[in-house]
Amino acid sequence: MPRRVQPEALDALSADDPAAQRSRRDLRRLHHAIGTLPILLRALDRAAGGSPRTILELGAGDGSMLLRLAERRAALWPGVAVTLLDRHGVVEERTLEGLRAVGWAPSVVIADVFDWLEQPIAVQWDIIVANLFVHHFPPLDLSRLLSAIAARTLVFFCCEPRRSAVPLLGSHMVGLLGAGPVTREDAVLSVHAGFRGQELTAAWPQESGWRLHEYPARLFSHCLLAIRGSA
């Protein structure tokens, strides 16, 4: 099944469109169903040599995943400064309050990821994460994105759709979770745009000093964990 990237319906909707709001609620349910948080926790526990000081989430959406991460790791990782980047400003104040309540310091950046990454490198992040985000990019943009990330972080982790028969079957059944029409359409497109084998490793900049771990996770996910050699 060759990789095929097509525009997804949610990307064309304004942030306040009721269909977009429903789709974001659907995505929270999907993350629970496919086990994104446990996958993320295992990867970061493997990568983090100590308590990170800074975390950036690309394509952060409503910020709910980063809040769940904070609630599970704040006791071990106190005082982390976290940045949620998305081109839509949909992070609710209660999410930011939840991050502050566990001792993390949140900030929100509303920008296109490439516009933001083209800015001069002012900060190197301890960790950059992305969940169901990287698959949106065709090959040339994917390589450009990963190169910009590699220049800005010590650790990168992404959890994306796995492009294979079982996830494709599952994508046709998300309506059983109560997903609306936008999510039902986008779920199938996401699997076709997903990854398998060592495709993300091949797109990562070919430079020394990185340890790359690309692997399938659970039934539906495909992950890349990149650790700079000194991390």
Q: How much is the pLDDT for 123?
A: 81
Q: How far apart are the first and last CA of the chain?
A: 35
Q: How far is CA 229 from CA 14, 47, 187, 212, in A?
A: 41, 11, 35, 10
Architecture of domain 9-228: 3-Layer(aba) Sandwich (3.40)
Yes or no: say if 93 and 67 are a contact pair by the CB < 8 Å rule. Answer: no
Q: How much is the pLDDT for 1?
A: 86
Structure tokens at 68: 């769940």
What pTM did the predictor assign?
A: 0.96
Task: Return per-residue pLDDT of the chain as tens, 231 residues.
Answer: 899 999 999 999 999 999 999 999 999 999 999 999 999 999 999 997 789 999 999 999 999 999 999 999 999 999 999 999 999 999 999 999 999 999 999 999 999 999 988 888 878 999 999 999 999 999 999 999 999 999 999 999 999 999 999 999 999 999 999 999 999 999 999 999 999 999 999 999 998 899 999 999 999 999 999 999 855
Pick left, alpha or beta for residue 214 (phi over 0 → left; psi -120 to 50 → alpha; otherwise beta).
beta
Q: How much is the pLDDT for 230?
A: 57
